[in-house]
Amino acid sequence: MTDLYLYDKAIRDAHGVFCGIDEAGRGPLAGDVYAAAVILPPDMVIEGANDSKKLTEKQRDALYDEIISKALAWSVGIATVEEIERINILQAAMLAMTRAYEGLSVHAGYALIDGNKAPVLPIPCEAVVKGDGTSASIACASIIAKVSRDRYMAEMAEKYPEWQFERHKGYGTKLHYQMIDKYGESPIHRHSFLTKYYAKKTD
């Protein structure tokens, strides 16, 4: 059993049924922010589960299917671009995490949250820095959140083809900035994320 599962076993022994929660899409210039909550069965090992950023798209897709078929419960929550603009990205990420937790079909009495901040939930929470490389449950949540968001951005690419979202998933790549320069903002761009870029261009 890998370190990630030994870590989860210690949490489970101390707190009983718990969920891992992670988000995807805090940094991009466009699109909703996603979060996932996952409850794994005791003694369940999903080979290869790790921080989603360390995996290829093909690996993530395969693990996504395995996780959703084997998890005791899983859920995805989102916060929209409008919510990101209204309450800021940190609060929107917390909101998406809360919605992911609320969508679980099995009650968890404890939550592990990736990062250094935790949303306000009706159960005790523990923020774990680099949690997706520490806890198997957070790692699985990171994969579910990342794959779910990437698939959403692929749908947005079909709706708004000029910005080529399928290639950069909304992140601030050279290509993405070129498309913004050429076409302006799409309806799913986070305007507040672009104000510094516009200011630099006018300097």
The pLDDT score that the predictor gives to residue 85 is: 98
d(CA 66, CA 2): 18
pTM for this prediction: 0.95
| Contacts for 101 with CB less than 8 Å, ≥ 6 apart | 19, 21, 37, 75, 77, 108, 111, 119, 121
The pLDDT score that the predictor gives to residue 118 is: 97
If you average pLDDT over every residue of the chain, what do you get?
Answer: 96
Percent of the chain's residues with pLDDT above 70: 100
How is domain 3-150 classified at the CATH fold level? Nucleotidyltransferase; domain 5 (3.30.420)
Average pLDDT over residues 11-19: 97
For residue 35, what is the enclosing H or E element? strand 33-39
The pLDDT score that the predictor gives to residue 1 is: 53
> Above 80 in pLDDT, residue 143?
yes
The full DSSP string for 178-191 is: HHHHHH---TTB-H
Tell me which of 202 and 142 has the higher pLDDT.
Answer: 142
26-40, 141-155, 188-202: segment of lowest average pLDDT: 188-202
Using pLDDT thresholds of 50, 70 and 90, give the confidence band for residue 51: confident
The dihedral over CA atoms of 170, 29, 125, 7, expressed in degrees to the nearest 10, equals 40
Pull the structure tokens for residue 188. Answer: 């799913």
| Contacts for 160 with CB less than 8 Å, ≥ 6 apart | 186, 187, 188
Q: ∠ CA 41-145-175 to the nearest 5 degrees?
A: 155
d(CA 137, CA 126): 13
